[in-house]
Chain A
């Protein structure tokens, strides 16, 4: 009688144990060598993952328009400029997406760290104000119309022709290669192994940020094995033990700059001051030093000349 009453509980327990232990078995299956057929990569899906609102998606869609910043001249009249507001406040409010190691991420004590964070802090210091970082989803930052919730973006934003409609850009503070990463389970080690033509035959799939693409692969989701992001992000993930590998020579170079919302208040003076600060940081080696610190290589020299 008692035993019979306990049966449903035992069954439930058995179910839970099975459910919990089952996933442990699957990673080992994915680590199996691909069977020795004629093309070992034939099963690699044609789907390529990219972050929403990124130039990587533009590249996949064939409408990437890399661009350079417009010349920035010292404005004659600075009255009522955003620069005044920032100086009066004593705080420069900087937005960035915190899910983008090694550019910007968080420490267990809640503090912000990363290359973009160091650059933003340095800019604020050279303007004589405090830096205040706030997290915003990348698609919200790149949509423009910030409604004055923050002053500038120091979030590794690539200058493109479309974005110049929405934003004023400073000179680039560094340059990263856009790269293709693959899951280690795919066995791909070189772009030449990819069993279809990129970008023409690829089907784009988006996640909120590029980091989410890596997250999906790490979770062993089957939808895609390829993704595009900055080479620095792929390297950081590989180093952190994630099952991804960088397989391409750079697809193209990204000019990454500070952006200010054109829909916001006048900001000619702020743009000029920040551009000057970045120029100085290039000249005095600060940016090179920060690049070595976070990327182990100097990404601050313009590869285009």
Chain B
């Protein structure tokens, strides 16, 4: 077979198409980024144009509000950790063939998901002391947040465990592996790999929901922003600062989570 003179080789056609696609992708990304920059710029300019933004206030009180970030992150990390343990127990409970264990786990999930998180937070802090259980604000917040998220994550874990192919378990049984070992060595490692991206999602949601404990006067981001905003009649600036930090935190953790997701998906190919 001969190739006509003047026509490009097939490989170089592919390369040209790829290069064109790459250029189109780059252009798309640039337009996308420009849209963000322009919109955020417009919002900032618009706010500035009202003449109601006090930059002196922001530089004076900004550090105090930002100082609440570490507590927000700490509460989120601690709560998601406790919630993960609860969820693991809950998931096995929900999958149990024992009616009592299954009943307990199902009741937990139903209660925790069927009542508002803010009611649970207030309940732990304000209602429990009446029956002699007195918790300081931060532990009360941690308990309520983990109780609530543990229930949602129970369902994630249950789905993760069920997603492990049945054949894996059967193969292990065929090899004579005892039930406990099957769970620990075969099912759990694969289930955890499946649920880790979902835990990342829950963590991002937790960062935002942790702001609810501000009603217990826990000095995290939102509490500080509200206190300072009200005290100085500058809620606009104070809440913008808090919102910006929540946003940056969630963007940062979304990046981490996406990378994690890609990594976890690698062995599925």
Contact = CB atoms under 8 A, between A and B. Distances in A.
A214 interface: yes
B46 A109 contact: no
Contacts of B129: 145, 147
B171 interface: no
A17 B47 CA distance: 8
A135 B64 contact: no
B134 interface: yes
Q: Which of A149, A218, A242 has the most CB of B within 10 A?
A: A149
B126 to A, nearest CB: 8
Interface string B42-65: 110111011110000000110110
Interface in B222-261: 227-228, 230-231, 233, 235
A108 B227 contact: no
B38 A13 contact: yes
B265 interface: no
A98 B231 contact: yes
B61 A99 contact: no
A162 interface: no
Contacts, number: 75
Contacts of A108: 60-61, 63-64
A211 interface: yes
A104 to B, nearest CB: 10
Interface in B55-99: 60-61, 63-64, 67
A215 interface: yes
A293 interface: no
B35 interface: yes
Interface residues of B, number: 31
B35 A211 contact: no
A106 B49 contact: no
Interface residues of A, number: 35
A23 B67 CA distance: 30
A13 B126 CA distance: 46
A99 B130 contact: no
A136 B228 CA distance: 15
A145 B130 contact: yes
The secondary-structure label for the interface of chain B is helix
B104 interface: no
A53 B269 CA distance: 63
Given A16-B46, A20-B43, A23-B50, A211 B63 contact: no
Contacts of A12: 39
A23 B52 contact: yes
A109 B136 CA distance: 24
A110 B134 contact: no
Given A13-B39, A23-B52, A24-B49, A242 B63 contact: no
Nearest to A208: B230
Given A12-B39, A145-B130, A215-B235, A20 B230 contact: no
Given A24-B52, A134-B217, A105 B231 contact: yes
A240 interface: yes
B227 A106 contact: yes
B230 A149 contact: no
Given A21-B49, A108-B64, A16 B43 contact: yes
A17 B49 contact: yes
B35 to A, nearest CB: 7
Contact of A147 (B45, B63, B67, B134): B134
Interface string A207-239: 000011011001100000000000000000000
Contacts of A21: 46, 49-50
Nearest to B218: A135
Contacts of B219: 135
Given A109-B64, A147-B129, A19 B228 contact: no
Contacts of B47: 20
Contact of B233 (A23, A136, A147, A215): A215
B227 A149 contact: no
Contacts of A13: 38-39, 42
Contacts of A242: 233
A98 B227 contact: yes
A110 B64 contact: yes
A108 B60 CA distance: 6
A92 B49 CA distance: 48
Nearest to B136: A149
Interface of A: 9, 12-13, 16-17, 19-21, 23-24, 98-99, 101, 105-106, 108-110, 134-137, 140, 145, 147-149, 211-212, 214-215, 218-219, 240, 242
10 contacts: A12-B39, A13-B42, A21-B50, A99-B227, A106-B64, A137-B217, A140-B126, A219-B235, A240-B233, A242-B233
Closest 5 CB pairs of A and B: A20-B46, A147-B129, A147-B134, A24-B50, A135-B217
Interface of B: 35, 38-39, 42-43, 45-47, 49-52, 60-61, 63-64, 67, 126, 129-130, 134, 136, 215, 217, 219, 227-228, 230-231, 233, 235
Given A17-B42, A108-B61, A218-B233, 8 more contacts: A17-B46, A24-B49, A98-B227, A98-B231, A110-B64, A135-B227, A145-B129, A149-B134
